[in-house]
A and B are shown apart, each in its own frame.
Chain A
Amino acid sequence: MEEARNVNAPHPEASPDHGSASARDARSTDTPHGDTGSTDSRSTDTPLGDTGSTDPRSTRNTGPGRLLIAVYAVFAISATARAGYQILTKFSDAPLAYLLSAFAAVVYLVATVSLAKAGSTWFKVSLVAVLVELVGVLVVGALSIFDPVAFPHETVWSLFGRGYAFIPLLLPILGLVWLYRRRPGTRPSGAQN
Chain B
Amino acid sequence: MDAFFYIILVVGLLSSGICLVAGILKKAPNDITILSVAAVELALMVYLVGSIVRVIAGEPIAGEAWEFWGYLATAMLLPPAAVYWSILERTRWSNFVLAAVGVTALVMAARMNQIWY
Contact surface of A with B, Cβ cutoff 8 Å:
2, 5-6, 36-38, 40-41, 44-46, 48-49, 62-67, 70-71, 73-74, 77, 81, 85, 89
Contact = CB atoms under 8 A, between A and B. Distances in A.
Contact of B92 (A41, A46, A71, A74): A41
Nearest to A71: B100
Interface in B75-110: 78, 81-82, 85-94, 96-97, 100, 104
29 contacts: A2-B87, A2-B88, A2-B89, A6-B89, A37-B91, A37-B93, A40-B28, A41-B91, A44-B27, A45-B30, A45-B90, A46-B28, A49-B91, A63-B89, A63-B93, A64-B93, A66-B86, A66-B94, A67-B94, A67-B96, A67-B97, A67-B100, A70-B85, A71-B100, A74-B78, A74-B100, A74-B104, A85-B67, A89-B64
B70 interface: yes
Given A44-B27, A71-B100, A36 B89 contact: no
A25 to B, nearest CB: 23
A41 B90 contact: yes
A66 B26 contact: no
B114 interface: no
Q: Chain B: interface residue count, which band? A: 20 to 34
Nearest to A165: B107
A49 B89 contact: yes
Give the residue among A2, A40, A62, A71 with the most B Cβ atoms within 10 A.
Answer: A40
Contacts of A81: 70, 74
B25 to A, nearest CB: 9
A67 B26 contact: no
Nearest to A2: B88
Contacts of A70: 82, 85, 97, 100
Give the residue among A41, A46, A73 with the most B Cβ atoms within 10 A.
Answer: A41
Nearest to A164: B107
B85 A66 contact: yes
Given A66-B91, A67-B97, 14 more contacts: A2-B87, A2-B88, A5-B89, A37-B93, A41-B90, A41-B92, A44-B27, A44-B28, A49-B90, A62-B91, A67-B94, A67-B100, A70-B82, A74-B104
A38 B26 CA distance: 9
A67 B74 contact: no
